Each structure stands twice: as C-alpha cells, then as structure tokens.
Amino acid sequence: MARCYVLASSSPRRRELLAKVGLSFIVDAADIDETARSSETPHDLVRRLAAQKAIVVGTRHPQCLIIGSDTVVAYQGRIFGKPRSMAHAQDMLRQLSDHRHQVFTAVAIWDPLWQRGYVQVDCTAITFHALSSSDIDAYLGTEEPWDKAGAYAIQGRAGEWIKELTGDVETVIGLPTRLVKKLLSHWDKERGV
C-alpha cells in the first residue's frame, strides 16, 4: 500500500515546493498559536512550530506521514513573523533595508502511527539593497507581503532587492526541498522501506 503524505500548511509556496519533490500529498493546515515564547531563539521557535503543526495535523491523519514547516525572519535579535498591519510591514522592511538578516525555516516529518519524527532547521542570510520609502510603499501596494515572514516574498518583486544571499533560496520561500528529501530518506532507512 502506498504511503500517504500530508502537508501541514496552507502556503501556496510550500505546496509548489513540495510538488517538486515528486510526492503525491494532501494539504491540511494546522491552526496553532505561533507566538514566540519569551527568550525563544528564531531557531528554537521554527523548530517547535514545525513540529507542533505536524503533530496537530497528524491527529487527523493517523495513517499518513506529516510534513510540517515554519519560517521566520530574524534581524538584530528580533523575530519578524507575518505583518499584522501596514505600519508593521513598513517598519519591518525599513529595518531590513540595506542590512543583513537571517531567514530560519524548519522542516518536521511526523509519523502519528509510530509517534516519532524528525525536525531540522536551515538558515539563509540575506542582505537587501537600500530601499526608499517609495520602494517600500509601492511594494506594500501589492499582495506579496501580507502572509509572509518579514513582509516580503523573495520569489516575487522583493527578489530584486537582494544584494547578497548566502544559503538556500527555498529556505527563504518556506520549504527547503533538500531537507524534505533528507528527512524522508532517513525515515525510510529507519523503517526499512
């Protein structure tokens, strides 16, 4: 019997990236509180949330392998999630302008039947060119920033702002497929598949 896979995310970008892996999967997003705990690092936050999403969705699909993911932007010790308002998005983009920041994405694989899983975190560093107020305002007039960590989509118009990128662009988009493949391969070896 073929294994079923569930992507625990409603992100269209994650769906597109997971489709590149060649898996047939269904989508079932987890509805969890994504608030960072006090003194939680970006690494620890995405790790916890990716695992939590996978475990929550696993309760609804006990025979499937669940793939969870979470992404945040970090700049000078602050965690930037999705923008809550126009002013919040403007503030984040102003801070990222002409500065280096990191994007952390965690991938979790969870098997509810075995009650076991794996999580791995990847980090990519990005430096933007200097952005003018008109650049930021024009960008905020698009649909791109509104459900993205750090208020930008690197695969969209914000890709033009990159001065330097060190790491995997898929980490910034929200699902590094090399990690998905690595974790699935590790899982298959452990299960003797």
Residues identified as active-site: 70
Q: Could you tell me whether strands 78-80 and 25-27 are parallel, antiparallel, or unpaired per DSSP bridges? A: unpaired
Helix (H, G, I), strand (E, B) or coil at 188: helix
Distance of CA 142 to the CA centre of its chain: 21
Sign of CA pseudo-dihedral 50, 56, 61, 63: positive
- CA distances (Å), 104 to each of 36, 139, 167, in order? 14, 23, 11
Cα-Cα end-to-end distance for the chain:
12
Q: How far apart are CA 167 and CA 104, in angstroms?
A: 11
